[in-house]
Amino acid sequence: MELPLALLSSLKGLPGYDESAFLAVHQSGEQVTSVRVNPLKWNSANGIMITGDDEQSLPETALRPVPWTSNGYYIDKRPSFTFDPFFHAGAYYVQEASSMFLEQAMMQGTDLTKPLRVLDACAAPGGKSTHLLSLLSPDSLLVSNEVIKARVNILRDNLSKWGHANQVVTQSDPRFFSTLENYFDVIVVDAPCSGSGLFRKDEDAVAEWSEQHVILCAQRQQRILSDLLPALRPGGLLIYSTCSYSSEEDESVLHWLEHEHEMRIVPLKTDPAWGVIPSGGGYRFWPHHTKGKDYSWLPWKKQQILPAIPG
Ligand code: SAM
């Protein structure tokens, strides 16, 4: 896989970046699979979670915990999820381990025992929303919004399979939420981005990457955030993430939030063994950072999360 030279040179100097290790992990072709189980439906007494088909049954011993979440596991192989009735029943969700870091932002940035009004503003296909439902108290409300109509059905299906009643799905442009002034305790923005974190999974994404697209994405991310911030109550928590490695979409957006919107960064405690790299107030998941002897796989998707409280 040929990575764009302009991307590689733009990453030089970022905390935790190591070009040869970054290139090697992209050339290796190794795929990391992880799942997050649904505590409403997952019966650990079964000893088997993912059946796939008879040949591919995975005993619980084949699962290794993702350390920053309570219900996430790396799995040794990738079964045919589409043939698994547990998958269709919402017993688990296939999700990148780095995405599950949302749990740390929610646990450390809010009081999960209290009823919270939460907006997942860019929600399809529902990875973050299903995770939020597992974390929130039953008297909390989750609004899962997806602006692209064609992506709303899959979001609705995934949330309905997850089995919680305290959620609604909306299909609105983020700017319409500005009329719900100070309504939400938490807003999650898992922003549309230039997608360099997806290269290992989808080689075609490499051809679509350009410096110009990074700039356009950064502008769109700022527009989405500006539209949503009026709906966040004073003292509320904003969680921002992308799957782009580009600092224009990550650290620069954090800097802009701090200086143009008077947001305060909430630092998160992380275990050094996780290999999560603090950077510019957020957290990077580089694919080349090892996790110590218990975790032979690495989260490959870079994720940056900004819990921030308006001043
Ligand atoms: N949070 C989702 C999950 O965990 O499954 C993934 C979200 S994906 C990274 C970004 C989402 O933003 C996509 O569903 C995309 O359709 C949506 N999107 C695209 N353009 C948007 C815009 N202008 N405003 C808000 N959302 C947008």
Domain assignment present for 229: yes
Domain assignment present for 180: yes
The reply to whether the predicted model has a pTM over 0.85 is yes
Q: How many whole angstroms from 223 Cα to the centroid of ligand 1?
A: 13
Q: Judge if 237 and 280 occupy the same domain.
A: yes
Q: How many whole angstroms from 216 Cα to the centroid of ligand 1?
A: 15
Residue 294: is its pLDDT beyond 80?
A: no
Q: What is the pLDDT of residue 270?
A: 93
Q: What is the pLDDT of residue 311?
A: 38
Mutate-to-test residue for ligand 1 from 144, 148, 241, highest number of ligand atoms within 8 A of CB: 148
Q: Judge if 78 and 136 occupy the same domain.
A: no
The minimum-distance atom of ligand 1 relative to the CA of 125 is 5
Q: Which residues on neighbouring strands pair with residue 241, listed in sequence order?
A: 190
Q: How many whole angstroms from 112 Cα to the centroid of ligand 1?
A: 25
Tens digit of pLDDT for each residue in 25-70? 899 888 888 899 999 887 654 444 555 444 445 555 567 889 999 9
For residue 302, name the pLDDT band (cuts at 50, 70, 90).
Answer: very low
Tens digit of pLDDT for each residue in 119-138? 999 999 999 999 999 999 99
Pocket residues for ligand 1 (CB within 6 Å)? 122-128, 146-148, 151, 174, 190, 192, 220, 224
Report the percentage of the chain scoring pLDDT > 70.
86
Domain assignment present for 310: no
Q: Per the structure, how many domains does the chain have?
A: 2
Place of tokens 């929600």: 123
Domain assignment present for 77: yes
Q: Judge if 118 and 184 occupy the same domain.
A: yes
Nearest to 6 by CA among 260, 300, 245: 245
Q: Judge if 143 and 182 occupy the same domain.
A: yes
Q: 76 lies in which domain range?
A: 33-95
Residue 261: is its pLDDT beyond 80?
A: yes
Active site residues: 243
Tens digit of pLDDT for each residue in 139-195? 999 999 999 999 999 999 999 999 999 999 999 999 999 999 999 999 999 999 999
Evaluate the CA torsion angle 46, 50, 53, 55 in order and state its sign: negative
Evaluate the CA torsion angle 49, 51, 52, 58 in order and state its sign: positive
Q: Judge if 146 and 66 occupy the same domain.
A: no
Q: Judge if 194 and 62 occupy the same domain.
A: no
